[in-house]
């Protein structure tokens, strides 16, 4: 890894630790030329293609899923740790499926299931975008379904 201070092409690892339940490795590095110390993170790269509803294909993007969940959970009592743990579990699930292509609906349903357990408001927020509600009636119907589940 190139030193960010002096641009020396090599640096040495002085410490490595797993973070985020072992899905990421944190490495402390030192430049042999200038002695500058810095931190890098090594993460598993998922070589998975997501197949969208309209047939388009795009590379799996962890940040895109995180952003959607964070928007749904904005100002709701869902911790960042809960969200990150879910993403880690989702990625492990995708790896264990062993498929090169995964339908976006698979991921969307997993996210909706988790949100429904964590916070009903976050669930409705996400569902309104994911299911592309066309009018207020669809929105109201989803809220009724949540109420019906709670009462049964």
Give per-10-residue mean pLDDT for the chain (152 aa).
94 90 86 96 86 94 94 95 92 90 94 93 87 76 75 58
Residues 133 and 83 placed together within one structural domain of the fold? yes
Residues 36 and 79 placed together within one structural domain of the fold? no
Residues 81 and 31 placed together within one structural domain of the fold? no
Tell me which residue range forms the domain holding 98: 62-151
State the pLDDT at residue 11.
Answer: 94
State the pLDDT at residue 21.
Answer: 65
State the pLDDT at residue 134.
Answer: 75
Taking the whole predicted model, whether its pTM rises above 0.75 is answered as: no
* Residue 5 lies inside a defined structural domain of this protein: no
State the pLDDT at residue 137.
Answer: 79
CA distances from 91 to 20, 61, 65, 84, 144 (A): 12, 10, 11, 11, 32
State the pLDDT at residue 59.
Answer: 94
Cβ–Cβ < 8 Å for 11, 1: yes
Q: What is the DSSP letter of 7?
A: -
Return the CA Rg of the chain: 20
State the pLDDT at residue 20.
Answer: 67
Q: Give the count of domains, the chain.
A: 2
- Facing residues of 103 across strands? 51
Q: Could you tell me which of 122, 61, 111 has the C-alpha nearest to residue 89?
A: 111
């Amino acid at each position: 890894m190139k030193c960010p201070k002096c641009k020396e092409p090599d640096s040495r690892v002085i410490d490595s630790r797993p973070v985020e339940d072992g899905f990421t490795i944190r490495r402390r590095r030192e430049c042999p030329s200038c002695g500058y110390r810095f931190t890098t993170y090594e993460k598993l790269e998922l070589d998975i293609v997501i197949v969208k509803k309209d047939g388009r294909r795009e590379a799996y993007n962890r940040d895109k899923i995180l952003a959607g969940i964070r928007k749904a959970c904005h100002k709701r009592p869902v911790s960042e740790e809960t969200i990150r743990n879910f993403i880690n579990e989702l990625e492990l699930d995708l790896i264990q499926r062993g498929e090169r292509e995964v339908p976006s609906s698979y991921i969307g349903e997993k996210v909706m299931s988790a949100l429904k357990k964590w916070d009903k408001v976050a669930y409705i927020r996400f569902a309104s975008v994911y299911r592309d509600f066309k009018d207020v009636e669809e929105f109201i119907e989803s809220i009724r379904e949540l109420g019906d589940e709670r009462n049964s």
